[in-house]
Amino acid sequence: MFLSSLLLLSCHENEDIVHSVPATGSIEAIISVRHMTGSTDILTTKRIVHANTLQQLTFVTNDTIPSLGEMVAEGKNEDGDTKSVLVEKNYEIFITVK
């Protein structure tokens, strides 16, 4: 199962963002979580296979996962005023490559 290679926890920033992949022979994976209303989120996984300088195949899957709920966070407006706001908790995504 694809999800077994992912450890999903709460997250606040992106790390190690790749801006381009070599099209001579690579597999690109794009993973995102979209917040839905209620108690579910949608995990979208897109895999693109590049070979011989061409995009050969694209696979997209959508899975329903439980929402982590909401949390209170501090935010500042343009005037520098601090306010407590309610925001959605985000998943942190880890990928194991074998």
User: What was the pLDDT predicted at 57?
Assistant: 95
Question: Which pLDDT does position 3 carry in this prediction?
Answer: 36
Burial degree of 10 (CB within 10 A; 0-12, 13-18, 19+)? exposed
pTM higher than 0.85 for the full model? no
Grade residue 15 by pLDDT with cuts at 50, 70 and 90. Answer: low
Query: 16 with 10: CB under 8 angstroms?
Result: no
Q: What is the pLDDT of residue 35?
A: 93
